[in-house]
């Protein structure tokens, strides 16, 4: 185990960086009261578990589970390796305007709000019980968090990987990166997982994917059955809950919503959400869509579809074969803009629009996120050529532009056919 993977800043310099330890703010929010609005909008008894759980878990991810907790940022971190080593994976991406403000103690103001909010969570000591933080080499902001968060965490692992999702070129490099990560986890947690433990972890996440797909597909055809708030709360809860628990409770949600018979009127308009992740409590865009009667029937975001849609498909049941299969789940199909893979994003958008008869696409671009913004021109041109209406919204976590965004969404809805 190398020193670089424990902390990215040496002791000598860490001593000067006291911003995470000297001051302490109160945990920012009583998420329960914020959740109340979405609880009331729900109408599904089975969603109560997720409303309660997400509000509670966000205050202290993974606490009280009697397991080591591995926090991670972004999708390309293979949860199955963490589970096989007896730890709980929790994804710590954060979207709270108050945490973003607190994060400005550690990073400058004009940085992506999600990076600032993630810093703010650590600043607020929300993640104190994390045993290890795993940072993927995705966007520049996330990579630099490996250094910036060094004073705040016990140990950090940087999962470095090539940004080209060409399977033929990179499968061996990805598999090597996952192999090293697995070795690191085994050493850290003194775990000796067998090949069967790894297979079991894959079965567990595949079962979660199976239920998610049922929900995704049902909702894409009948969005009135499960509103967007519940859908994103359900998806985000999978960041924090043990997968078996999520699967069991989400199965109940599927059963309830699919038995309600809430069918869309034939002329109602349905749209696809793409772009930066949408995370509770920053539901500004969802609030506006709901107010304007716009049905966001499906998404291709890393906070829902990107986290849960792809299964592990194992064709060779050796440890190496499973690690390869994991790279094909997490990296090869990735539509995260940090990778070179716009063909995959375009194919996914076009296929989803066609499959579910969607009327247009809303692309949500978190302000100061260059990787999402830089690909808008390509997206705009291709969708125009295909005759698919596109609305690009650039915003942050503040509420100041709510009226303006609402006007633009209303105008977009009127032009949909």
Determine the interface stretch with ligand SF4 among 39-47, 56-64, 135-143, 153-161 (rule: CB under 6 A): 135-143
Give the chain's largest Cα–Cα span: 66
Please name which of 72, 311, 73 lies closest in space to residue 205, comparing C-alpha atoms: 311
Can you tell me which of 44, 55, 74, 201 binds ligand SF4, judged by CB under 6 A? 74
Beta carbon of residue 277, minimum distance to ligand SF4 (angstroms, whole number): 5
Alpha-carbon distance of 337 to 375, in angstroms, equals: 8
Residue 49 interacts with ligand SF4 (CB under 6 A): yes or no: no
Could you give the CA distance from residue 343 to residue 363 in angstroms, rounded to a whole number? 16
Applying CB under 6 A, among 114, 211, 234, 257 the residue interacting with ligand SF4 is 114
Compute the least distance from the CB of residue 160 to ligand SF4, in Å: 14
- Which letter, b or e, does each residue of 331-352 get, where b requires 16 or more Cβ atoms within 10 Å of its Cβ? bbbbbbbbbebeebbbebbbeb
d(Cα 199, Cα 194) in Å, to the nearest integer? 9
- Residue 282 contacts ligand SF4 per CB under 6 A: no
User: Stretches 35-43, 109-117, 163-171, 279-287: which one binds ligand SF4 (CB under 6 A)?
Assistant: 109-117
Beta bridge partner(s), residue 88: 69
Q: In angstroms, what is the minimal distance from the CB of 139 to ligand SF4?
A: 3
Q: How many angstroms separate the CA atoms of 156 and 132, rounded?
A: 6
Backbone angles phi, psi at 177, to 5 degrees: -65, -40
Could you tell me how many residues make up the chain? Answer: 417
Out of 29, 204, 366, 413, the residue judged to bind ligand SF4 by CB under 6 A: 366
Stretch that binds ligand SF4, among 13-21, 46-54, 120-128, 136-144 (CB under 6 A): 136-144
Among 85, 139, 241, 328, contact with ligand SF4 (rule: CB under 6 A): 139
Judged by CB under 6 A, the stretch of 31-39, 56-64, 367-375, 387-395 that binds ligand SF4 is: 367-375
Q: Is 71 in the site for ligand SF4 (CB under 6 A)?
A: no
| Cβ nearer to ligand SF4, comparing 138 with 247 | 138
Q: Which of 44, 83, 112, 288 binds ligand SF4 (CB under 6 A)?
A: 112
The binder of ligand SF4 chosen from 336, 349, 358, 383 (CB under 6 A): 336
Q: How far is the CB of 135 from ligand SF4 (least distance, A)?
A: 10
115 vs 126, beta carbon nearer ligand SF4: 115
Q: How far is the CB of 307 from ligand SF4 (least distance, A)?
A: 8
Out of 93, 95, 132, 308, the only residue in the binding site for ligand SF4 (CB under 6 A) is: 93
6 vs 163, beta carbon nearer ligand SF4: 163
- Residue 372 sits in the site that holds ligand SF4 (CB under 6 A): yes
Q: Can you tell me the distance from the alpha carbon of 152 to that of 196, in angstroms, rounded to the nearest whole number?
A: 35
Size of the site for ligand SF4 (CB under 6 A): 19
Our finding on whether 75 is near ligand SF4 (CB under 6 A) is yes
CB of 37 to ligand SF4, least distance (A): 24
Spatial distance between the Cα atoms of 350 and 355, rounded to a whole number of angstroms:
8
Q: Which is nearer to ligand SF4, 82 or 139 (CB)?
A: 139
> Residue 138, interface with ligand SF4 (CB under 6 A)?
yes
> How far apart are CB 235 and ligand SF4 at their closest, in Å?
13
User: By CB under 6 A, is residue 305 in contact with ligand SF4?
Assistant: no
- In the complex with ligand SF4, which residue's Cβ is closer, 42 or 170? 170
Q: Is 371 in the site for ligand SF4 (CB under 6 A)?
A: yes
Own/partner long-range contacts of 384-392 (Cβ < 8 Å, ≥24 apart): 386/350, 388/350, 388/353, 388/360, 388/361, 389/359, 389/360, 389/361, 389/415, 389/416, 390/360, 390/361, 390/362, 390/363, 391/360, 391/361, 391/362, 391/363, 392/363, 392/365
Q: Which residues bind ligand SF4 (CB under 6 A)?
A: 74-75, 93, 112, 114-115, 138-139, 141-142, 276-277, 302, 336, 338, 366, 369, 371-372
């Amino acid at each position: 185990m190398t020193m670089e993977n424990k902390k990215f800043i040496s002791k000598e310099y860490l001593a000067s960086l006291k911003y995470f330890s000297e001051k302490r703010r109160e945990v920012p929010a009583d998420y329960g009261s914020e959740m109340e609005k979405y609880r009331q909008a729900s109408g599904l008894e089975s969603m109560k578990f997720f409303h309660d759980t997400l509000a509670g878990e966000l205050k202290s991810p993974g606490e009280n589970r009697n397991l080591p907790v591995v926090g991670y940022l972004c999708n390309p971190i293979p949860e199955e390796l963490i589970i096989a080593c007896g730890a709980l994976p929790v994804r710590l991406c954060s979207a709270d305007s108050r945490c973003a403000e607190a994060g400005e103690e550690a990073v400058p103001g004009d940085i992506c709000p999600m990076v600032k909010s993630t810093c703010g969570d650590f600043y607020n000591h929300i993640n104190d019980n994390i045993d290890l933080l795993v940072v993927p080499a995705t966007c520049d902001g996330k990579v630099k968090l490996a250094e910036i968060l060094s004073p705040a965490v016990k140990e950090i692992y940087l999962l470095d990987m090539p940004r080209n999702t060409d399977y033929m070129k990179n499968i061996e490099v990805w598999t090597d990166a996952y192999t090293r990560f697995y070795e690191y986890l085994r050493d850290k947690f003194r775990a000796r997982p067998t090949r069967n433990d790894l297979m079991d972890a894959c079965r567990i996440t595949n079962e979660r994917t199976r239920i998610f797909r049922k929900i995704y597909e049902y909702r894409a055809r009948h969005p009135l059955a499960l509103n967007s708030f519940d859908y994103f709360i359900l998806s985000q809860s999978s960041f924090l809950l043990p997968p078996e628990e999520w699967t069991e409770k989400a199965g109940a949600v599927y059963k309830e919503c699919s038995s309600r018979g809430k069918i869309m009127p034939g002329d109602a308009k349905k749209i696809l959400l793409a772009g930066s992740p949408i995370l509770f409590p920053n539901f500004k865009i969802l609030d506006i869509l709901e107010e304007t009667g716009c049905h966001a029937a499906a998404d291709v975001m890393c906070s829902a579809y990107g986290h849960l849609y792809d299964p592990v498909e194992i064709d060779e049941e050796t440890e190496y074969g499973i690690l390869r299969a994991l790279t094909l789940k997490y990296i090869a199909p990735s539509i995260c803009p940090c990778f070179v893979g716009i063909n995959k994003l375009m194919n996914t958008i076009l296929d989803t629009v066609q499959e579910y008869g969607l009327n247009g696409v809303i692309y949500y671009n978190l302000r100061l996120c260059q990787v999402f913004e830089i690909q808008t021109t390509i997206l705009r041109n291709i969708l125009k050529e295909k005759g698919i209406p596109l609305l690009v919204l650039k915003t942050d976590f503040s509420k100041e532009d709510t009226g303006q965004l609402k006007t633009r969404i209303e105008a977009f809805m009127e032009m949909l056919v």
